[in-house]
Amino acid sequence: MNIDEPNAAPGRRSAFGEPPGSAVGLPLPAAFYDRDPALVARQLLGCVLRMVDGHGAVSGRIIETEAYLGPHDAACHAVAGRTARTWHLFGPPGIAYVYFIYGMHWCVNAVTREDGFGSAVLIRALAPLEGVESMRVRRPRARHDAQLCNGPGKLCAALGIDRSYDGASLTGASALTIHAGESITDDLVLVGPRVGISKAVELPLRFRCDSSRFPQPDAD
DNA sequence: CATTTGATGTTCT
DNA sequence: GAACATCAAATGC
């Protein structure tokens, strides 16, 4: 796979037997994540975050991300150093950094750059792809399917991501993975400052795209 | 519609 | 003790 174009057509479809139209590709390799988190955040748009448990696959296309650059970035958890909480944020590229926020929500990041450097990309929103029924069970208060995964806490609830996935590999051979998906051209990408940041520079580090342009999952 | 507020607990100052 | 990479219900138009 060419990590500079992870969603390019060749090799996009995986051999894992996804239903036709799921557009789930190969798991992204660790080298994909061993780069500038802002670039990784942009290129994760259109890729697929996927959880496989005893009940089957639950997944969604990534439609919003946020980059956290490193210890020099006042909004990044790495500013506090490598503590028990941020241990995996400083881990090798391609693992998950999962943390608990506001007393009730989990958030999942893809760790970027080399082992020992604390930077990551927060996965902020998904467009549901597989396992919508499981998502509805896990998020009974969501009134519409469009609201199952349209926030960082919501998508962790919908996929069942919690502390037990902190430090887990995202690159394959595990329950939680990120796969190549649909290519997102620049004209579909909206860029803005990070959400809810009072400190730190207001660089355009948030990336999002509209889910309506993607192939829709098969109706139930 | 938009804006405000309550829930809830960990982390850091 | 305050802040927090949030969510959903309640309130105000």
Q: How far is the CA of A81 from the C1' of C3 (A)?
A: 17
Q: Give tens-digit pLDDT for A46-94.
A: 999 999 988 899 999 999 999 999 999 999 999 999 999 999 999 999 9
Q: Give tens-digit pLDDT for A118-154.
A: 999 999 999 999 999 999 999 999 999 999 999 999 9
Domains of chain A are 30-209 (3.10.300.10)
Q: Is the CB of A141 under 7 A from strand B?
A: no
Nucleotide B9: closest residue by CA–C1': A103
Read off the pLDDT band of A2 (50, 70, 90).
confident
**What are the start-end ranges of the H helices in chain A?**
30-33, 37-44, 132-138, 152-159
What does the alpha-carbon distance between residue A81 and residue A77 come to, in Å, rounded to a whole number? 8
* Rounded mean pLDDT, A157-182: 97
Q: Give tens-digit pLDDT for A181-206.
A: 999 999 999 999 998 766 667 789 99
Q: How far is the CA of A174 from the C1' of C3 (A)?
A: 34
Q: Reduce the DSSP state of residue A52 to 3 states and report it.
A: strand
Instruction: Identify any residues that bridge with A61 across adjacent strands, giving them in sequence order.
Output: A48, A127
